[in-house]
Chains A and B, each alone.
Chain A
Amino acid sequence: MNKQEIPVQGISRRKFLGASAATAGIGIASGVSLINIANAKPLDEPVSNDQRWGMLIDANKCASGCTSCVDACNTENGLNAGDEQLSRQGQKAQWIRKVELRDKATQHEISLPLLCQHCENPPCVDVCPTGASFKREDGLVLVDKHTCIGCRYCMMACPYKARSFIHEELLNQLEDVPRGKGTVESCTFCVHRLDEDTDNRRDPACVEACNADGHQAIIFGDMKDANSAISQQLKKHTSKAIRADLKLNPGVRYRGI
């Protein structure tokens, strides 16, 4: 076999490969250093349990009759893209809903948004036969639309009725939010926003909308970061988990309930 090096446009193959590797190395190194400067999480890095995303909802600030968070969620996730025309009201998907409550003993009335509580011990994940319902390292409880068989056992198990089943063919889906007939879905904390690198990471759409309306009823952030606004607030004020008796340790907590 001829082991003589074959020149490639005047450069030997070995030299060419060496030069390419060096160039690539410099490129990657500079990229890495830039990321370090920006302190951003690159897109290909897996999420870790150093973080736990959570929400603190202040029912005292939540305005009765206001549906900004619901509308924003529907728009962000394509829930009102003109689909689900055939489904009845009770069949349409809803990831976040507004609930108005009255204390039976005191007649005190409150208003609050209810969504997937992203439990630490989620019953939906426990009961899912195929593991399509899963909890991410950073606390998000999600559904893998590719392995969900549509058995709806998770919907039976969820104490918050936070999940919706898709009752018909969906068109006009958003690129970031895959959905599908015959599968179950629920709030993702706008995972497509959270999974952007740190510089571009944005709060979930409901939080943004509530702030934009001036209510500031929802604080979102990393509950494991002691300096985050949510951690500070949780430490400072009393807050409650809905159905705390079930000991699911939800990632969504409430004030004023």
Chain B
Amino acid sequence: MKKINYLEIEGRSSGFIALLGILGIIALAGIGAFIYMEHSGHHVTGMDNQIVWGMPHVFAIFLIVAASGALNVASIGTVFNKAIYKPLGRLSVLMAIALLAGGLMVLLLDLGRPDRLIVAMTYYNFKSIFAWNIILYNGFFAVTIVYLWMMMEKRMVPYYRPAGIAAFIWRLILTTGTGSIFGFLVARSAFDAAIMAPMFIIMSFSFGLAIFLLILMLGYQWTERPLGDAIVKRLKNLLGIFVAAVLYFTLAYHLTNLYATEHHDVEKFILAGDSIHTTLFWIVEILIGGIIPLAIIYSKFSTSRTWLGLATIMIIIGGLAKIYVIVIGGQAFPLEIFPGMEVISSTFGDANSYHIYNPSTPEFILGISGVAVAILIITMGVRVLKFMPESLADADVDPHNKG
């Protein structure tokens, strides 16, 4: 195996400028959407007192979950000493930081009072998992930046592995925290489950790696740098395992719920209802986000970068659908306030069989702008710093390569 040479991308091509331009416009549109929503108040959104977390939360949670997953590639190299993953470490950490920044931006800008961020940063109610998450997110930036520094600075090499282990442990705790936001909601039929935390961890593995692989393939294609099959094959096989694991956890979650009579109604609503959540669950989450990409990954199609890229996009879309069904679906199903009773009428929407949420355009734009900001950070990152190996050809990275 040769010595890896990291190099900034040139960033002079019209394609690069166009990419920055498009991402910049989406990011600016997101800022515009935020100003509009903040100035008018949340009445311009599809959210109300029943669906209190909407589209911005779906994107924010997806990005935050994916962020910790994107770090896995670096962790496999550092913590588990897999040599082939090591050249990808820097890019992996950069993506983790970028995705988290994008997600947190959306989360923050959707607050009722984002101007009071300082309150959230200075006063903590330690019984709140949300408060813990604020510490975990800030800590994630600190831990990963130190990790990156150890990775990039030659004289810091002795500390590189401990920093990597610290980052790995931190990311596991962070995703446990994100999953527990839902797992700790005792009153909601769809949420109150211990499996939420581990399921979110496995979701992060899958979504994070899908994004990593997609950006890796696009990045090397656009910069015309060599990306060998050895590394792609390793990553796609791992991705397949993660996608299957997400399906397994989803199955375990619903089977457990289906066993308990008290959860039959909410399961019927998600799995066999007439709302959008049932369609999203079966068609987008399970079929498009799970079964089809699995079939692609483990078939001969996977030798084609186009098909593989398509599979990663499907996993990402399926992931967004999964978060949507968890976050919005969980709220759309009415609270079981009076078990055994049927609500005939109420002035506060209690009598609805389920709540309908129609996301407004600004909400969607704010959400998608988080994705744009994340990609913008990655693009600028690889432009100004040495994140991307000049070559990831098999001969350069694969320790078992005979050629």
Contact = CB atoms under 8 A, between A and B. Distances in A.
Asked if A pairs with B, the answer is yes
Interface of A: 67, 70, 86-88, 90-94, 97-105, 109, 114, 123, 125-132, 147-153, 155-161, 163-169, 181-184, 242-243, 246, 257
Contacts of A152: 52-53, 112
B112 A182 contact: yes
A94 B188 CA distance: 20
Interface stretch (B118-126, B199-207, B231-239): B118-126
Contacts of A184: 112
A101 B343 contact: yes
B184 interface: yes
Contact of B187 (A86, A114, A123): A123
Contacts of A104: 340-342
Among B49, B53, B125, B341, find the residue whose CB has the most chain A CB atoms closer than 10 A.
B49
A92 B48 CA distance: 8
Contacts of A183: 112-113
B113 A150 contact: yes
B174 to A, nearest CB: 16
Contacts of A90: 48-50, 349, 355
A13 to B, nearest CB: 46
Nearest to B331: A156
B125 A182 contact: no
Contacts of B117: 149
Contacts of B341: 101-104
B337 A243 contact: yes
A109 B338 CA distance: 13
Contacts of A160: 335, 337
B261 interface: no
A157 B187 contact: yes
A106 to B, nearest CB: 10
Contact of B128 (A109, A128, A166): A128
Interface in B177-224: 181, 184-188
Contacts of B344: 100-102, 109
Nearest to A90: B48
Nearest to B50: A90
A159 B119 contact: no
Contacts of B14: none
Name the 8 nearest CB pairs between A and B, nearest first: A150-B112, A182-B112, A159-B187, A90-B48, A168-B41, A167-B43, A129-B130, A129-B131
B49 A91 contact: yes
B52 A155 contact: yes
B347 A161 contact: no
Contacts of A92: 49
Given A88-B48, A149-B116, A243-B187, A103 B43 contact: no
B48 A167 contact: yes
B42 interface: yes
B350 interface: yes
Contacts of B41: 86-87, 166-169, 181-182
B165 interface: no
B348 interface: yes
B196 to A, nearest CB: 13
A181 B116 CA distance: 13
A127 B130 CA distance: 7
B13 interface: no
Contacts of B116: 130, 147-150
Given A99-B343, A149-B111, A151-B111, A242 B338 contact: yes
Nearest to A97: B348
Contacts of A182: 38, 41-42, 111-113
A148 B181 CA distance: 18
B20 interface: no
Of A86, A152, A159, the most chain B CB neighbours within 10 A belong to A152
Contacts of A127: 127-130, 184-185
B49 A155 contact: yes
Interface in B330-378: 331, 335, 337-350, 355
A70 B346 CA distance: 12
24 contacts: A86-B41, A90-B349, A98-B347, A99-B348, A99-B350, A100-B345, A102-B341, A109-B344, A127-B128, A129-B131, A130-B116, A130-B131, A149-B111, A149-B112, A149-B119, A152-B52, A153-B128, A155-B49, A156-B185, A161-B49, A161-B335, A165-B49, A182-B41, A182-B112
Interface in B15-57: 38, 40-43, 47-50, 52-53
B123 A147 contact: yes
Given A149-B112, A168-B40, 10 more contacts: A90-B355, A101-B342, A104-B340, A129-B120, A130-B116, A150-B113, A151-B130, A157-B185, A161-B348, A246-B187
A243 B188 CA distance: 12
Nearest to A103: B341
A182 B44 CA distance: 13
Contacts of A100: 343-346
A249 B263 CA distance: 24
B22 to A, nearest CB: 31
A160 B48 CA distance: 16
B244 interface: no
Best-surrounded residue of A91, A94, A155 (most CB of chain B within 10 A): A91
